[in-house]
Amino acid sequence: MTQATRQFSLGAFLMQTGHHIAGWRHPDAQADAGSNFRHYVALARLAEAAKFDAVFLADSSGVRSTHPGSLARTARSEFFEPLTLLSALAAVTERIGLIATVSTSFHEPYNVARKFASLDQISGGRAGWNLVTSSSSTEARNFNRDDLPEHAKRYERAAEFHDVVLGLWDSWEEDSFPRDKASGIYLNTDKLHVLDHRGEHFQVRGPLNVNRSPQGRPVIVQAGASEDGRALAARTAEVIFVAHQTFDEAQAFYADIKGRLPAFGRHPDDVKIMPGIFPVVGRTQEEADEKFEQLQSLVDPVVGVALLSTVIGGIDLSNHDVDGPIPELPETNGPKSRQHLLVELARRDKLTIRQLYLRIAGARGHQQVVGTPQTIADQLQQWFEEGGADGFNIMAPWFPGGLAEFIDQVLPELRRRGLFRTEYEGRTLREHLGLKRPTRAGSAR
């Protein structure tokens, strides 16, 4: 292979016990990860020592499973609120980016703007916000509702929410605070901008009570792949995390997003597309396959069927034959794109319910790569060089070993090919990702 002329970004997706639904049962897994802060400190430091761009925390504002048998057998009911956890990790890391998921459906923009601005100050410019609209009625029931607003309405609110947050982040220009003890002048009011937003969903005066971000603004991350999600991302996202099953899907998504940017006055480099990758690494293909089968063998059918039901939008499959085909599914108000991709996958590969849940138990809609460091590097290189990705979000099957194996075995191969950094060059998340420092939008005082 030739030296790459550009390098890709890597995020470490830190999901409690690991991304595989049965990862917590791995003999070496940290089963109490969801309540173990020291576990996360070790993982963040591991990813930082490996020069990852960022750690990434997903979120759910509730305990999602309503199937008691599955709930009892999965490690998804206790976990840290992402911003609380990332703030603590900011204090014990120096360089790695810190990306937290926060839903626009269950929060107020002033609070979200403040918290990410504070995290950015604490971390010296390493914060990123993964903006989601949430997708489960289980979460809605913790917030005074019986169900979520419909998909399009959630995205309308999300778009306005985003604009308010950015407006608040622009409350202060650079160097607004001379803090001159002699004259008694603490701040320069000419550099203060009051937002005074009055929109359909929000009325927010401002200004924000946090100084301007060390990286200009925290980085905006999104994960929506539906039409509404793509439209919002093309206008607002700086990083897109996305789930693909095939290279063709990745390429089509990449081209679609990059093609939408000029309409918003944006350059292709203004958005970094980072598909999720679920890696299982072996010294040989046989060892990798064995490792994967070990994890698959730990999936209880009760858990597998319930997982599949959730992922396809809350449709109960427990009354269907687990070794029969996927039934016809009604349209739902859930995450349309994901259901669509999965059902297509099942039809294409003629999968039974059991086979489909085993397909998603690990990668859950993301690209699963089970192989040697060489074959995994080949695939990442192809996606990167042939218009499928600007980087990858590494979704380790279990922790800490699943991430450590990727770092110890695959990263050296990626570095040999010149595809990934050997040292941090920048200080901020924005610098790691190669994103421009934003300039303040003009706004009235």
CA distance 319 to 332: 19
Beta strand 367-371 pairing with 272-281: parallel
Q: Does 142 bind a second copy (CB under 8 A)?
A: yes
Please check if 155 is assigned to a binding site.
yes
Size of the site for a second copy (CB under 8 A): 78
37 vs 264, which CB is nearer to a second copy? 37
The interface with a second copy within residues 267-326 (CB under 8 A) comprises 298, 300, 303
Q: Does 143 bind a second copy (CB under 8 A)?
A: yes
Please check if 196 is assigned to a binding site.
no
Among 15, 20, 46, 87, binds a second copy (CB under 8 A): 87
90 vs 342, which CB is nearer to a second copy? 90
Please check if 197 is assigned to a binding site.
no
The secondary structure element, H or E, covering residue 415 is: helix 411-416
CA distance 69 to 76: 13
164 vs 312, which CB is nearer to a second copy? 164
Burial 40-67 (b: 16+ CB within 10 A, else e): bbbbbebbbebbbbbbbbbbbbbebbeb
Q: Does 68 bind a second copy (CB under 8 A)?
A: yes
Token duo for residue 111? 């609070």
Q: Does 424 bind a second copy (CB under 8 A)?
A: no
Q: How far is the CB of 78 from a second copy (least distance, A)?
A: 4
Among 24, 56, 155, 398, binds a second copy (CB under 8 A): 24
CA distance 86 to 44: 10
Beta strand 203-204 pairing with 197-198: antiparallel
34 vs 276, which CB is nearer to a second copy? 34
Tally: H helices and E strands in the chain? 16, 11
Q: Residue 4 gets which letter from DSSP? A: P
Please check if 134 is assigned to a binding site.
no
Please check if 110 is assigned to a binding site.
no
Helices (H), 124-208: 137-140, 151-169
Q: Does 204 bind a second copy (CB under 8 A)?
A: yes
Among 4, 42, 45, 121, binds a second copy (CB under 8 A): 121
Q: Which residues are annotated as a binding site for FMN?
A: 59, 101, 151, 155, 226
